[in-house]
Amino acid sequence: MKEEMVAMILAGGRGTRLQSLTAKVAKPAVFFGGKYRIIDFPLSNVANSGIHAVGVATQYESTALNNYIGTGRNWGLNGNGALTSILPPRETPKGANWYSGTADAIYQNIDWLDKTHCEYVVILSGDHVYKMDYSEMLNFHKKNAADVTISCIKVPLSEAPRFGIVCTDKENRINEFQEKPKVPKSDYASMGIYIFTYSLLREALIADADNKKSTHDFGKDILPDFLASGKRLFAYPFTGYWKDVGTIHSLWESNMDLLDDKCTLDLFSDEFKIYSADTFSTPQFISPSASVDDCIINQGAVIRGQIVHSVISNEVTVEKGAYVQDSFVMPGAIIKAGVKVIDAIVGSSVVVDKDKIGTPTDALLVNDK
């Protein structure tokens, strides 16, 4: 096959800051929004951008994620003229190695990229929530004759040390890149979305693999080296909704954002739709004894108690006499009678009883409430 641009999704992170939620699954496989998993967002963006070939580099606790992605059918990324490949670390004649960094994950799959005969590659994180048309970013890349284009967004200066920070001129050309700086020089943050001209990326990855001093990371090694060598790096300005949901608080906050009328992440429109797997659930049931106010409730949920400003996933049961407020409840969880759940994330298939919770981290509290 021959593609102008292909996508590579980095989906192998441990997600330790999500605590028990990633004890048995990779971070991109974590549930979101009552209906989705986090990986649905980059995969749907790829499909909606008209990209037909995507490789997904997996590593940590990848079984559930691999099974979920399958052939890419749920996102229309299978069949004639389309390709979805799951790319775990593998043994080759050179030996067997885990991915040692984001750049190494791409380097170890150069053979896959070569077979697509692509001109450009867009590299994505598998654990961010947003909508983006990558074809518009590619047009920006080509218009500026860029070697690398980084999608960037304005963030509060207090949060800037969490991100890669760029400084640009008036034409959005990047003249400085700081990876998670203690003292950031700007509030313009990299979203971890890169478009590379593939021929240049290929050369850089091969050189980086031979560099024993390298950490084999895009932010720490590849991008600074491109900048130092005079390559043309540009910042693509993004103004929509974007959230790195890598912490308990950010995951909870992003789910609560969905209930805000002013939230720019519209999941209720057929335009630029976010696709997901069908759970083949029964219809939702809300009993006469229930009280529901400002909630998202997915199919298969049985609601007999009171829920306020919460996101309820499929097959969740809220018993009569239970109270849920400002919370995200994952699939299959049961909130027993007499329980109050406030400002929390309740894990998948957890039974929350007033006398006993399976483990202290089954119901993860947010904001110390």
pTM of the model: 0.93
Q: Which domains does the chain have, with CATH numbers?
A: 5-257 (3.90.550.10), 285-365 (2.160.10.10)
Residues of the chain with pLDDT under 70: 1, 95, 355-369
pLDDT score at 368: 44
pLDDT score at 200: 98
Distances (CA, A) of 177 to 39, 170, 171, 173, 321: 27, 16, 16, 11, 54
pLDDT score at 97: 81
pLDDT score at 14: 78
pLDDT score at 357: 53
